[in-house]
Amino acid sequence: MPSMTTPDRTRTPLPGISSRAYEHPADRSALVAMRSLTGFDSVLKRTSGLFSERRLRLMFLASAVRTSETQFRGLYDMGRDSAYILDLARIPEVYVQQDPKVYAMAIGFDEPFIVVSTGCLDLLDEEELRFVVGHETAHILSGHAVYGTMLQILTRLATRVAWIPLGYIGLRVIVAALEEWARKAEMSADRGGLLAGQDPEAALRALMKLAGGSRLHEMNIEAFLDQAREYDTAGDVRDGLLKVLNLLGTTHPFAVTRVAELDRWRRSGDYDRILTGDYPRRTDDHTAKISDEVKAAAASYRESWAQSQDPFIGVLRDVAEGAVNAGERIFNRFSRREN
């Protein structure tokens, strides 16, 4: 594979890296569970056939610009670089789609590809864009493109059967669960994007620009992190409930949350440790246990709840702890009777 596009800046390749190295625990536990289901992938692929990935690819081939050595060369090289650093077996195609809205996405089943909007190109500088392409590449390595595409399909299907009450409710429950997973998957991909670009400041800038636009000279990352802390602590229980309601129907966390989470992960030492070569390899993925990943996810939620100063989260935490304590008392009482 050709050398990386920025000769004056060395980026560390991560051969054989498993997506488990950067995945959020809640995301990872869901993925391990889905991958462990016998025949799940084959069922998924058969389902995908109903919606024709081939048709989807032809649509972008006809209506967008596929990057290459002669079209959007810089973006094309970023796609190759990200695939090289994260050690993907196949370099995903990257398409540019004319749209002033700022977005990028990884879609598809058998051969996922990346789509970047012109709005995204206009908003971000080179290193920020490298983070975004790495973010989408991390989605592909994790298998998010497959499950994310299914989420899009189920969301559209739910709107079509809205006139059937029970069918709609059932699908909305599934979609809501997938949306919660998708928000954690975005945090995973942010970490993967940082590993691909290896420029923490550019990664945080890119996420901040999603909230404030292109006027970078008018913004400050430390002030934005303060804003994230204020969002976490502001208001009373009612405001905490409103925060939860504001997330309904969304697949991405809010920008302040993403910046704060990525900065926290970087400062935890995991980012530097991975760059030194200390990370799980995908050759060991088959040994991952659902029980261990679920425990890690539960521990992650407990930690985030413990760190949160949101009054509403405090109420939920107290209720949860009370339920656990009550359960332990009941269990101990039955245990004494049996003895």
Which string of DSSP letters, residue by residue, matches 291-317? HHHHHHHHHHHHHHHHH---HHHHHHH
The angle subtended at Cα 70 by Cα 64 and Cα 72, nearest 5°, is: 50
- Proportion of the chain above pLDDT 70, given as a percent: 62
Phi, psi of 280 (to 5 degrees): -70, 145
**Of residues 114 and 305, which shows the higher confidence score?**
114
Whether the per-residue pLDDT at 42 is higher than 90: the answer is no
Q: What pLDDT was estimated at residue 313?
A: 43
Residues 182 and 174: their CA atoms lie apart, in Å, by: 12
Residue 142: count of CB within 10 angstroms of its CB:
25
pLDDT in the model for residue 250:
76
* pLDDT for 206 beyond 80: yes
pLDDT range class, residue 325, cuts 50, 70, 90? very low
User: Residue 189 domain-assigned?
Assistant: yes
Beta-carbon-side half-sphere exposure of residue 65 (alpha carbons within 13 Å): 16
Q: Is the pLDDT of residue 202 over 70?
A: yes
Specify the pLDDT at position 271. Answer: 97
In a domain, 282, yes or no: yes
Q: Which two tokens stand for residue 22?
A: 């950067």
228: nearest Cα among 203, 252, 245, 253: 253
Residues 19-36 have pLDDT tens digits of: 989 988 767 766 665 555
Average pLDDT, the chain: 77
Question: Is residue 260 a contact partner of residue 233, using CB atoms and an 8 Å limit?
Answer: no
pLDDT at 80: 97
The model's pTM: 0.76
* Structural domain includes residue 191: yes
The more confident residue out of 239 and 84 is 84
Domain that holds residue 289: 19-308
Cα Dmax for the chain: 77
Residue 186 has a pLDDT of 92
Spell out the residues 6+ positions from residue 218 whose beta carbon is closer than 8 angstroms to its own: 212
What 3-state class would DSSP assign to 263?
helix
Torsion from C-alpha of 151, 154, 160, 162, nearest 10 degrees: -100
* Residue 11 forms part of a structural domain: no
- Give the tens place of pLDDT for each residue, 262-301: 999 999 999 999 999 999 999 988 776 655 555 554 554 4
Distance CA 249, CA 271 (A): 31
The residue type of 307 is Q
pLDDT for residue 234 = 65
Task: Give the pLDDT confidence score for residue 155 in this predicted structure.
Answer: 58
Find out whether 190 and 203 touch, Cβ atoms under 8 Å.
Answer: yes
Is residue 196 within 8 A of residue 129, CB to CB? The reply is no
For residue 243, pLDDT beyond 90? no
Q: Map tokens 């939620």 to a residue.
A: 301
69 is written with which tokens? 């050595």
Domain membership flag for residue 179: yes
Query: Please, what's the b/e burial string for 25-53 (b: 16 or more CB within 10 A of its CB; e: otherwise)?
Result: bbbbbbbbebeeeeeeeeebeeebeeeeb
Whether residue 139 is contained in a domain is answered as yes
Is the residue at 131 inside a domain?
Answer: yes
3 assigned to some structural domain: no
Each residue's pLDDT tens digit, 131-186? 999 999 999 998 877 666 665 655 555 555 444 554 444 555 556 666 777 788 89
Specify the number of domains making up the chain.
Answer: 1
Q: Which of 110, 143, 114 shows the shortest CA–CA distance to 27?
A: 143
Question: Does the structure show a pLDDT above 70 at 5?
Answer: no
Distance, CA of 20 to CA of 223 (rounded, Å): 31
Percent of the chain with pLDDT over 90: 47
Which of 49-58, 65-74, 134-143, 191-200 shows the lowest mean pLDDT across its residues? 49-58
Whether the predicted pLDDT of 104 surpasses 70: yes
Residue 106: per-residue pLDDT: 92
